[in-house]
Amino acid sequence: MILQTIDYVEGSVVMIDQTALPMEERMIRLSRADGVAGAIRSMRVRGAPAIGIAAAFGMLLELENLLRESDQGGTGFFFDRKTGMSGSRGVAIDPEEAAGKLNQAAELLAATRPTAVNLFRAIERMKRVARENPGDPARLCSETGAEAFRIHDEELERERRIGAFGAALLRSGMSVLTHCNAGGLATAGYGTALAVIYSARGLGMDIRVYADETRPLLQGGRLTAWELLKNGVDVTVLCDGAAASLISTGKIGAAIVGADRIAANGDTANKIGTLGVAVLCARYGVPFYVAAPLSTFDPDAPSGESIPIEHRSEEELIYFSGIRTIPEGAGIYNPAFDVTPAELITAFITEKGVIYPPYGGKTGRLSGAGS
């Protein structure tokens, strides 16, 4: 099942509020770039591919609003992902003003979260459209909308291909460990790591999933489990500290995770706790796979040391379900991501195929194809 994680519908960005899951399936509708930026910061939308899509849609909202303001007496909307641009209304806008609005939105959105490279790739693609159409407002409008929707549609196709390539690495009866959420909620709707599970099941394989709860925001317990159950997949949730015990039993046939940024040498930034899973898999001889689109590979980051790591609010650790669980005076260390060295990664599963070590030159060349 494809989740409608994020979409652009009749002039607004519509997304699942992931902070409300699993207790409530709530959709929110946003009409300005600052609202989208707030949703990214607060993790109402999260996951590297989904954040990239959100940024593209957030920039398009600013063009939508400029068109609406210039369309005297007009009603309705200008952009919709399913139908494209609504006619040629509003093309009398000043293209320089439009480019300025897009650049302002780009700066706002780029400042939300530093680690996921997809965010910056999507922003640059949208800015490039404005640069390439400096004096033609009609073309600027149509091409900007088309590019935003292309980012979404391309991502969904990549996810399907990732799932197909990854399924070939599994066998029926296998139990797979996941960390965080790399499913439809983190992407255009199908997933990366979970796309492998869905594709394998589509081939008739019996696959069981063990999902790390993923402290402190419980993306595995709240989101991965919710999504897998919605798709009829057998899932068991475990606390992060139980992963070592589980892996040591030999019950896990493979671990599959997503990624927020992959350096040229294969070092991979993903949700905090991923490194621990990779170390355990290496110790017990369990394949550790990273499923990610080529847009997540960053050739400008030579190694993991070049990847900026976001540190989030202390309150995420201090409080649990609104109750303070850590005494006042204790220091807080709350990085959102860690970096897994390339030598701990069995293979990368991408939309162009499975990449095995040595990685170096391979990841650098392929990442250019995903830009």
Domain limits of the chain?
6-159, 166-369
pLDDT of residue 88: 53
Q: Annotated catalytic, 260?
A: yes
Query: pLDDT by residue for the chain (371 residues), tens digit each?
Result: 789 999 999 999 999 999 999 999 999 999 999 999 999 999 999 999 999 999 999 999 999 999 888 875 566 789 999 987 765 555 678 888 988 999 999 999 999 999 989 999 999 999 999 889 887 888 888 899 999 999 999 999 999 999 999 999 999 999 999 999 999 999 999 999 999 999 999 999 999 999 999 999 999 999 999 999 999 999 999 999 999 999 999 999 999 999 999 999 999 999 999 999 999 999 999 999 999 999 999 999 999 999 999 999 999 999 988 899 999 999 999 999 999 999 999 999 999 999 999 987 666 565 544 44
> For residue 293, what are the CA distances in angstroms to 177, 238, 263, 290?
20, 27, 13, 10
Amino acid at 329: G
The conformation of residue 240, written as its DSSP 8-state character, comes to G
Tell the CATH topology of 6-159.
Four Helix Bundle (Hemerythrin (Met), subunit A) (1.20.120)
pLDDT of residue 175: 98
**Tokens matching residue 83:** 């139908």
Among the listed residues 7, 80, 212, 260, the single catalytic one is 260
Looking at the DSSP bridge assignments, the partners of residue 84 are 80
DSSP-derived secondary structure for 34-99 = HHHHHHHHTTSS-SHHHHHHHHHHHHHHHHHHHHHHHSTT--S-SEETTTEE-TTTTTTS-HHHHH
The C-alpha atoms of residue 42 and residue 189 are separated, in whole angstroms, by 20
The C-alpha atoms of residue 196 and residue 170 are separated, in whole angstroms, by 9
pLDDT of residue 68: 86
Looking at the DSSP bridge assignments, the partners of residue 318 are none
Q: What is the CATH number of domain 166-369?
A: 3.40.50.10470
Q: Three-state SS for 117?
A: helix
pLDDT of residue 96: 86
**Tokens matching residue 56:** 């593209």
Alpha-carbon dihedral angle through residues 260, 37, 183, 19, given to the nearest 10 degrees: 120
pLDDT of residue 133: 84
pLDDT of residue 69: 84
Could you tell me if residue 22 is left (phi over 0), alpha (psi between -120 and 50 degrees) or otherwise beta? alpha
Exposure string of 303-342, with b = 16+ CB inside 10 Å and e = fewer, is ebeebebbebeeeebbeeeeeeeeeeeeeeeeebbbbbbb
